Amino acid sequence: MQTRIKAVLDRVDTDARYQYGLLALLTVLAAAVRFYKLGEWSFWGDEVITVGRASQVFDLGLSRYSVSRILAYFAFDWFGISESTARLVPALIGIITIPAIYFPVRRIFSSSVALLTGGFLAISPWHLYWSQNARFYTALLLFYTLGLFAFYLGIEEDRPWYLVLFLVLFGLAIQERKIALFLALTIAGYLVLVKVLPFGNPPGLNLRNMLILLVPSFAGGLGVSWIYLRDPSRWLATFGWINNSPFWILSGIAYYVGIPILCMGFAGALFLLLRRDRAGLLMSLAVLIPLVSVLALSLVQYTANRYVFVSLISWIVLAGVAVREVFLGIQGNGRILVLGVVLILVLHPLGEDVLYFRYQHGNRDNWKAAYAFIEDRKAPGDLIITANRAVGNFYLDDPLIGMDSLSQEDLDGNQNRIWFVEDMTAEDKWPWVHRWVNRHAILVANFDNHVQARNFKMRVYLYDPGAVLTSPP
């Protein structure tokens, strides 16, 4: 049995036609999953922000330019604005990521690890989710991860042009989102640890390459952070409030990455570290530094588990290494254990994908259904008050009132019928509005979307001054 499995792995690692055939199948699988129901889910708040910025990207200045926004601008120009066209670019980038990461992973590890990585990523629920969001995260992940691999190959093979490529990719990632700075921390940690731990010095660890890395990185980092260094209040205004606990962040990451991938990734990291493998050290830091940084930052400022999305491919690569070593080390009736490992790693994400498509409405708020409900029932003169006016303006032609602009006097004594659309943030942000609605209005529609321990609350209330209140006070 062991001989046959080794022969299969040898074929995967040596037969180019076999490799490219499997890679093509994985890419088709990724495309099928990412295009399925692409335009069915409702926009949510951040997507509407992205649509607005991408629509006027060339009017916002160079600091706002990014690959994903520019491509989205042309998608809107050619096809118009809709849920599907807004998500077209993230989906395409998500699909392209499968073959794009195959080649550097094959070069650093092996073809079998590269194919395992592509397979796990193709069905990853977290990657699927961001591939079907009008956001920048798939582009960020692609540039971030390719930059990580370019750095490793440049420093490991003493190839300066790979380090230049790293700087370009790092810059593209920074333009997508500043959380790409985790990559700089990862590389800094790697350069320190290879000097102090018994991993040996990479061939490219010399003064020339350090200057290539450090001089542009320092200048670029100063340029990116100068606006906040000059005026720290800008950072505090956006991120200076605590919204999550470390436990909530960690549990969310475990859910989105997937417990099986996390466990196998941890095992793969430990295996490579014990072998004093420098690629394993870099991949281990690539998963550890964003995770620890976000957990620590959650104690003092705004954070979200999506900030750790940049480490997803690194987790999957480490899991792929672990799976390959399990296959290589199998003996006798161990085939049953191999089957169990494969089933867990494949069926768990597939099960989450089924829930995502069939029961969890794409794991997001169902604003579209709430506004469609109101559209079918509203009368002339009705007011519509919402927790997110930007999303409402996309789905309704009527003028909407945001809860953030309300006062008590606006509601007390009002003789118009009023529709209220309340999401999961409304009660915490505007508690007095929530109390007023519960006392004076009737719940007429519930579009709550339950995703594991999280409820994407979406409820429609109607205040009718001429009706008798029948719901409990």
Cβ–Cβ < 8 Å for 328, 4: no
- Dihedral Cα 118, 187, 295, 276, nearest 10 deg: 70
The pLDDT of residue 407 is 86
| 110 three-state secondary structure | coil
Q: Token digits for 262?
A: 């996390």
pLDDT at 367 over 80: yes
The pLDDT of residue 254 is 94
The pLDDT of residue 472 is 46
The pLDDT of residue 226 is 66
> How high is the mean pLDDT of the chain?
90
Per-residue pLDDT tens digits for 237-274 = 667 677 788 998 999 999 999 999 999 999 999 999 99
- C-alpha radius of gyration, the chain, whole number: 25
The pLDDT of residue 5 is 56
Q: What is the average per-residue pLDDT within 158-187?
A: 94
The pLDDT of residue 58 is 86
Per-residue pLDDT tens digits for 27-50 = 999 999 999 999 999 999 999 999
- Read off the amino acid at residue 373: F
Residue 95 CA to residue 237 CA, distance in Å, equals: 36
Q: Residue 306 carries which DSSP code?
A: G
Task: Identify which has the larger pLDDT, 445 or 229.
Answer: 445
Share of the chain above pLDDT 90, in %: 74
Q: Report the DSSP beta bridge partners of residue 383.
A: 418
Q: What is the average per-residue pLDDT within 184-209?
A: 93
Q: Token digits for 456?
A: 């994407």
Measured in whole angstroms, the distance separating CA 9 from the mean position of its chain's CA atoms is: 32
**Sign of the CA dihedral with 184 first, then 189, 190, and 194 last:** positive
Q: Token digits for 297?
A: 């930052």
Q: What's the per-residue H, E or C state across 155-216?
A: HHCCCHHHHHHHHHHHHHHHHHCHHHHHHHHHHHHHHHHHHHCCCCCCCCCCHHHHHHHHHH
Cβ–Cβ < 8 Å for 400, 393: yes
Residue 255 CA to residue 47 CA, distance in Å, equals: 22
Cβ–Cβ < 8 Å for 42, 369: yes
Cβ–Cβ < 8 Å for 53, 65: no
Residue with tokens 């542009």: 216
Cβ–Cβ < 8 Å for 433, 406: yes
DSSP letter string, 402-434:
EGGG--HHHHTT--S-EEEEEETTHHHH-HHHH
Per-residue pLDDT tens digits for 293-317 = 999 999 988 888 999 999 999 999 9
pLDDT at 217 over 90: no
Per-residue pLDDT tens digits for 125-146 = 999 999 999 999 999 999 999 9
Share of the chain above pLDDT 70, in %: 91
User: C-alpha angle with apex 402: 396 to 408, nearest 5 degrees?
Assistant: 135
Top mean-pLDDT range of 226-240, 421-435, 458-472: 421-435
pLDDT at 202 over 60: yes
The pLDDT of residue 244 is 83
The pLDDT of residue 101 is 97
Per-residue pLDDT tens digits for 95-115 = 999 999 999 999 999 999 999
pLDDT at 455 over 60: yes
The pLDDT of residue 469 is 55
Measured in whole angstroms, the distance separating CA 235 from the mean position of its chain's CA atoms is: 22
Per-residue pLDDT tens digits for 325-352 = 888 777 666 767 777 888 899 999 999 9
**Sign of the CA dihedral with 238 first, then 243, 249, and 251 last:** negative
Q: How many Cα atoms are found within 13 Å in the side-chain-facing hemisphere of 380?
A: 0
Q: Which of 81-85, 234-238, 312-316, 430-434 has the lowest mean pLDDT?
A: 234-238
Q: What is the average per-residue pLDDT within 142-152?
A: 97
Q: Token digits for 265?
A: 């990734």
40 — phi, psi (to 5°)?
-80, -35
Give 373's contacts (C-beta < 8 A, 6+ positions apart). 444, 445, 447, 460
The pLDDT of residue 408 is 85
Q: What is the average per-residue pLDDT within 406-410?
A: 85
The pLDDT of residue 8 is 62
Measured in whole angstroms, the distance separating CA 210 from the mean position of its chain's CA atoms is: 31
